Amino acid sequence: MVGLDGLLKRMQIFVHILGWIGTALILFAYYLVSNKKMEGSSPAYQWMNLVGAVGLGTNVFYLQAWPAVALEVIWALIAVIALFKFRKTN
């Protein structure tokens, strides 16, 4: 049976992994758009930003980095709004 300390350690590791995955997704999306491999208005780009913001947002929320939490919430909202607009036009 895993004790409370072990559970907290696993949670911390999981949250850090989410943060790194989120960071990688946001940076990779930016790289793709910057190098004209993907359109900034594409659903794939917006999904990468949304999933990245949720992963990184979870990490900064856990760490109580409130300015970064605000950034990631807004980042995710921008992606959600863009995805809804894309859905309405198609």
Give the list of residues 6+ apart from residue 1 with CB closer than 8 angstroms, or none: none
Task: State the pLDDT confidence band at 90, using cuts at 50, 70 and 90.
Answer: confident
Residue 1 confidence (pLDDT) = 63
58-82 mean pLDDT: 97
53-82 mean pLDDT: 97
Query: pTM value?
Result: 0.90
